[in-house]
Amino acid sequence: MRIGILAYEGCFATEVFAVTDLLRIANRVAHENGIDSATRFQVSVIAASPTPVVAAGGFTIGAHRWHHRFDLIVVPGFDVSPTDDLSARLADRSREVAFLREAASRRIRIASVCVGAFLLGEAGLLDGRRSTTSWLFASQLTRRYPRSTVCAESLIVSDGLVTTSAAFSASLDLTTAIVRDHLGAGVARATARVTLVSENRRSQAPYVVESMVQTTSGPFATAVQRWLVDHLAEPYSLPRLADALHVSTRTLLRRYGEEDGRPPLAFLQEARIATAKRLLADTDVPIGDIPRRVGYQDTGTLRRMFVERVGIGPADYRRRFRSR
């Protein structure tokens, strides 16, 4: 299988070499398992020109001049913050976008890591497809490419010939999935265990820090959300909420939906889970006391809602993320 890793100015070198190195180890595991060399991975780092690419942090990466004789092209992410001018950053990548668009027209599979998904979006490859990226940039991906269904909590999303994955360390999950698809579950499992890579991560929801997620709610929706947070532990009452905002329930739902795109109860459930996550990670509050603090009746209800949104139970979350 011929794989090209696309290097470009400002990309993360780790996301380039995590893929190349893990595939190299997978080839060794495949060799030890008697798999013919013809079926193993042939990996190249490619770029617009054969001169070294300056990655994020000033590190140089040697690369081959790109071409389209690949079965799969992997696009790493680049150094960017949520407050940067993303349009300007993407405008600098017009050559890479054109290359990916041409590759897609040749039916070459394309995968991205983290914000590499934005390069796929600029090439039109996310239109009509499900996608994901780092949870920190999921809302921007949704706004910029409205024809894509962004699965913000998913670690890896494959839709047709396009695969997108979450942030940074998800490059290892993506590569493990590539190994599994091409060389089988046995080689993927052995490679993961040799390299201490997780074999079964499915969601990035446990890692989300809600306070870092950008919101685009208007002033009315913001006022509603502020009131809901202030009354988090109390039973939800739409009439009471409407009275507090001095509008009818019908007007509240209409105006809130126009500004936030969902009903107030959806925000309230997210706020309750976010508060529960903070209490689990940053305090010694017993798990049995947390439900009443966040508006749930019992631990069973909290656990069901928590698993549904975070992917693991409250006790497991505390074990994994407890601040010491």
What residue ranges define each of the domains in the chain, with the CATH number in brackets?
2-207 (3.40.50.880), 215-321 (1.10.10.60)
| Residues 30-42: tens digit of each pLDDT | 999 888 888 899 9
User: Is the sign of the CA dihedral 43, 49, 51, 52 positive or negative?
Assistant: negative
58, 54, 52, 28: which is closest to 41 by C-alpha? Answer: 28
pLDDT at 127: 97
Place of tokens 């009354």: 231
Q: Which phi and psi angles does 11 have, rounded to 5°?
A: -75, 165
Residue 206 predicted with pLDDT over 90:
no
Quote the CA–CA distance of 14 and 18 in Å, as a whole number: 6
pLDDT higher for 164 or 217? 164
* Summary mean pLDDT of the chain: 92
pLDDT at 324: 60
Q: What is the CA radius of gyration of the chain?
A: 23
pLDDT at 39: 85
Quote the CA–CA distance of 75 and 54 in Å, as a whole number: 15
Q: For residue 317, give both structure tokens.
A: 């979350």
Contacts for 121 with CB less than 8 Å, ≥ 6 apart: 131, 141, 144, 145, 148
Place of tokens 């947070």: 229
Inter-axis angle of helices 264-282 and 249-260, to 10 degrees?
Answer: 70
b/e map 137-161, b = 16+ CB within 10 Å: bbbbbbebbeebebbbbbbbbbbee
Place of tokens 């090439």: 123
Q: Is 110 helix (H, G, I), strand (E, B) or coil?
A: strand
Place of tokens 């389209």: 68
Q: Is 49 helix (H, G, I), strand (E, B) or coil?
A: coil
Quote the CA–CA distance of 19 and 179 in Å, as a whole number: 11
| Long-range pairs for 245-250: beta carbons < 8 A, 24 or more residues apart | 245/220
Q: Is 42 helix (H, G, I), strand (E, B) or coil?
A: strand
pTM of the entire structure?
A: 0.74
Residue 216 predicted with pLDDT over 90:
no
The per-type count for the chain, helices as H runs and strands as E runs, is 14, 11
What CA dihedral angle connects 156, 158, 163 and 169, to 10 degrees?
Answer: 10
- Range name among 43-47, 59-63, 279-283 with the lowest pLDDT average: 279-283
Inter-axis angle of helices 170-183 and 13-32, to 10 degrees?
Answer: 30
Side chain identity, residue 95: R
Q: Is 65 helix (H, G, I), strand (E, B) or coil?
A: strand
CB atoms < 10 A from the CB of 179, how many? 26
Residue 213 predicted with pLDDT over 90:
no
Share of the chain above pLDDT 90, in %: 71
Secondary structure element (H or E) that encloses residue 62, with its range? none
**Mean pLDDT along residues 87-94:** 94
Q: For residue 313, give both structure tokens.
A: 């139970």
Share of the chain above pLDDT 70, in %: 97
Quote the CA–CA distance of 7 and 5 in Å, as a whole number: 6
